[in-house]
Amino acid sequence: MQRAPENRINERVRAPNVRLIGADGSQVGIVTREKALGMAQEADLDLVEVAPNADPPVCKIMDYGKFKYQESLRAKEARKKQGHQQVKEMRFGPKIGIHDYVTKKNRILEFLDEGHRVKVSVRFKGREMHHTELGTQLLERLVTDLADVASVEVAGKLDGRIMSMMFAPQKKKPEKAGKAQTEGE
In a domain, residue 73? The reply is no
Cα–Cα distance, 73 to 130 (Å, whole number)? 58
Find the domain containing 47 and state its range: 10-65
Question: How many other CB atoms sit within 10 Å of the CB of residue 58?
Answer: 17
Assign residue 32 the CATH number of its domain. Answer: 3.10.20.80
pLDDT, residue 1, reads: 46
**Does residue 131 share a domain with residue 60?**
no
Could you read off the pLDDT of 53-71 as tens digits, one per residue?
Answer: 888 889 899 888 888 888 8
pLDDT, residue 98, reads: 93
